[in-house]
A and B are shown apart, each in its own frame.
Chain A
Amino acid sequence: MSPFVPMVQSTVVAATPLIFAALGETIVEKSGVLNLGIEGMMLVGAIAGFAATLATGNAGIGFVAGAAAGTAMALIFAVLTISLQTNQVATGLALTLFGIGLSAFVGHDLAGMPLPGMEGVTFPVLTSLPLVGELLFHYDPMVYGSIILLIAVMWFLERSHAGLKMRAIGESPAVAHSIGHPVVLIRYLAVMFGGATSGIAGAYLSEVQTPMWAEGMSAGKGWIALALVVFGTWRPGRVVLGAYLFGGVTVLQLFAQGIGLNVPAEFLSMLPYAATVVVLVIICRDPKTILLNQPASLGRSFYPGT
């Protein structure tokens, strides 16, 4: 069997949670808010999704629960940073820590329980096509969900009125506010959306990628998602491309070991992280690309006045 097909499949499954989390964060950041708490939201989403699926036997309900849990976490963040004007970086970090602790605490007794995992979607004719079927039509529903999300986010940011409004807020909340845009409301919604997708990303880990619950099972993926947003210069298409690239490099390094490449495993394991830095440098080298795409008010508190 050619190793190409499984490599692609492995990459897609590895990239899917990153796509969910990173696309959500793209929206959050486009509204001018920086939420560093993805890792925490993902873990809480993972345990919620796992517990709900375990209880109901329905993976769909699991994803809804994951999204709800992620949203609840994001709401804490929103109240603190948007209403109470706390520092976004510090609050995001606190959210991550809190999420790691909370998920471990809640999930203490659920560790070690199995879930059946999610069946792949079968498309009539398409799935059975040679090669193409294997490469494109062989995945669980959430993989296609991530593509639908990509299209939706692109449409929202580029084409919709609400998206335009949100971007205006991200550029200059003061100006947007003065022309009557509900800055606080929209930022709340954006942050909660980011929470929901991070929750789904987490639930994907505990329901599909490795159907089980384990403490800290996101293993740093939330941070990678964060990097992908800058990596993609806040453009959804590039963000998704970045996720596939990152997933691909991870799989590639394991592949290189499998064919007996004589390089210490640690150096190969560094590759995805080093590659992220290198690509970031290439993208950021021209300050214009960042300035043109980064929301101007990113990370700043906005006080709407009395």
Chain B
Amino acid sequence: MTRYTRVLGRMAAAVLLSCAALGAQAAGPLKVAFVYLGPVGDGGWTFQHDQGRQGLEKAMGTAIKTTYIENVPETADAERVLRQLAADGNELIFATSFGYMEPLLKVAKQFPKVKFEHVNGYKQATNVVTYEPIFDQGFYLMGIIAGKMTKTNTLGFIGSFPIPSVVRDANAFILGAKSVNPKSTLKVVWASTWYDPGKERQAAETLMGQGADVLSQNTDSPAGIQAAEAKGKYAFALDSDMSKYGPKAHLTASTENWTDYYVQETKAVIAGTWTGNRATRWGLKEKMVVMAPMNVAVPADVVKMVEDKKTAIANGSFDYFGGPIKDNTGKERVAAGAKLPVGDYMSMNWYVEGVEGSVPQ
């Protein structure tokens, strides 16, 4: 085996020498790598991360060199890709999907000097940190707009999969709506996919057919916006500003700005101040969650209301998951004056009052 490897290694070296293009990699700029679940052109989640990567390049100039690899499935392949990136001399690696968690932890053990950053995960290590946007803050604000804009008092939510963060988004959305319009209810349809434009469109049409006139989604394609535009209804986008897909329908979007975080982390690595075992959750305050420009159809007083709540959420003076909160079976989940325990927040699998149906268990 070893001899074989050596022979192959020598062959490889020969080929390497013959390629003039391959110069020796001098130890210079910090190598930063990004692992993407989808294609960079998905117009949503991965696209936005790549915007962050480009923002990082712009901010750091020649001090860094970035690499990205797209369409990495959350299968056995993820471990190889992560390991390869680490072996290739990348010192900071951003893994931008939840499903990379276990492979990432394995690779991190093998490469203690490489720093790993994992989005949406919950396991940290000395060289692994997690980071995530507080999506639900954006959904709460969108809920306020929805509650004001709805005429049927029926809102719609196109869900991907019933995981806690998505359930949280739906809950925050209806809490926002009910804060301004107690009569509003939310219908949820699970598309069982993160990305299938055809199915997302059908889900949107179904919700509108059942009376929903303002839609939100946590699936990735702009199909829901397009469907709402075609039917003259309203919709919110996620991840990216999708107003170009439905200028009339698109009320606003809860988007992510990853650049600041990526710059902060990269600078920390360069300065040698990067530490492991951290979990970063950034929201409106840190501007990781950014609201896209609002549609002109949103009345000025609603815009003001949203801005006020945004400030209140950002400075910590307002918590929409603060009690009293009942779930949709009438059971009290958070007592008046109490806060939602972090554990319940992290693993939320119940709907608040106003959502129809129940979370698939």
So, do A and B actually touch in the complex, CB under 8 Å?
A: yes
**Which residues from chain A sit less than 8 Å from chain B, CB to CB?**
1, 3, 5-7, 9-10, 13-14, 104, 107-112, 114, 117, 205, 209-212, 214-215, 217, 219, 221, 250-251, 254-255, 257-262, 264-266, 269
A-side contacts of B42, CB under 8 Å: 111-112, 214-215
CB-based nearest A residue for B192: A269
CB-based nearest A residue for B44: A112
* Interfacial residues of chain B within 153-172, with CB under 8 A of chain A in the complex: 156, 162
- Are B43 and A212 interface neighbours, CB within 8 A? yes
Known: A111-B42, A266-B192. A210 touches B206 (CB 8 A): no
CB-based nearest A residue for B47: A112
Describe A's contact surface by its main secondary structure: helix
* B323 interfacial by beta-carbon distance below 8 Å: no
Known: A111-B42, A254-B189, A259-B210. A212 touches B222 (CB 8 A): yes
* B223 interfacial by beta-carbon distance below 8 Å: yes
A-side contacts of B245, CB under 8 Å: 114, 211-212
- Are A117 and B41 interface neighbours, CB within 8 A? no
Residue contacts A-B, CB under 8 angstroms, 28 given? A1-B209, A6-B208, A6-B209, A10-B206, A13-B205, A108-B39, A111-B41, A209-B198, A210-B198, A210-B200, A210-B221, A210-B222, A211-B245, A212-B245, A217-B197, A219-B197, A221-B198, A251-B206, A254-B202, A257-B188, A257-B357, A258-B187, A258-B206, A258-B210, A259-B210, A260-B187, A264-B360, A265-B360
- Are B41 and A110 interface neighbours, CB within 8 A? yes
Annotate B200-235 by CB proximity to A: 1 below 8 A, 0 otherwise.
111101111111000000000111001001110000
Known: A111-B43, A214-B43, A215-B41. A209 touches B197 (CB 8 A): yes
* B199 interfacial by beta-carbon distance below 8 Å: yes
Give A287 Cβ to nearest chain B Cβ, in Å: 35
**What's the Cα separation between A182 and B237 when bound, in Å?**
55
**What's the Cα separation between A266 and B190 when bound, in Å?**
9
- Are A210 and B360 interface neighbours, CB within 8 A? no
**What's the Cα separation between A1 and B209 when bound, in Å?**
7
A-side contacts of B58, CB under 8 Å: none
CB-based nearest A residue for B245: A114
CB-based nearest B residue for A112: B43
B-side contacts of A7, CB under 8 Å: 206, 209
**What's the Cα separation between A217 and B162 when bound, in Å?**
23
Give A223 Cβ to nearest chain B Cβ, in Å: 14
- Counted as pairs of residues, one from A and one from B, with CB atoms less than 8 Å apart, the total is 126
**What's the Cα separation between A221 and B202 when bound, in Å?**
14
* B308 interfacial by beta-carbon distance below 8 Å: no
Give B347 Cβ to nearest chain A Cβ, in Å: 18
- Are B41 and A112 interface neighbours, CB within 8 A? yes
CB-based nearest A residue for B231: A6
CB-based nearest A residue for B161: A265
Give B197 Cβ to nearest chain A Cβ, in Å: 4
- Are A255 and B221 interface neighbours, CB within 8 A? no
Q: Which 7 A-B pairs have the closest CB atoms?
A: A111-B41, A6-B209, A112-B43, A265-B190, A210-B197, A260-B357, A10-B205
- Are A10 and B211 interface neighbours, CB within 8 A? no
Known: A215-B41, A254-B203, A265-B192. A210 touches B223 (CB 8 A): yes
Known: A210-B197, A210-B198. A262 touches B357 (CB 8 A): yes
B-side contacts of A214, CB under 8 Å: 41-43, 195, 197, 221
Give A107 Cβ to nearest chain B Cβ, in Å: 8
- Are B230 and A117 interface neighbours, CB within 8 A? yes
* B344 interfacial by beta-carbon distance below 8 Å: no
Q: Which of B40, B202, B210, B226 contacts A250 (CB 8 A)?
A: B202
**What's the Cα separation between A108 and B39 when bound, in Å?**
8
User: Considering residues A110, A205, A251, which has the most beta carbons from chain B within 10 angstroms of its beta carbon?
Assistant: A251
* B356 interfacial by beta-carbon distance below 8 Å: yes
* B286 interfacial by beta-carbon distance below 8 Å: no
Give A300 Cβ to nearest chain B Cβ, in Å: 34
Give B324 Cβ to nearest chain A Cβ, in Å: 24
* Interfacial residues of chain B within 3-40, with CB under 8 A of chain A in the complex: 39-40
Q: Which of B156, B196, B206, B210 contacts A219 (CB 8 A)?
A: B196
Give B63 Cβ to nearest chain A Cβ, in Å: 28
* B244 interfacial by beta-carbon distance below 8 Å: yes
- Are B198 and A205 interface neighbours, CB within 8 A? yes
Known: A111-B41, A114-B222. A10 touches B198 (CB 8 A): no
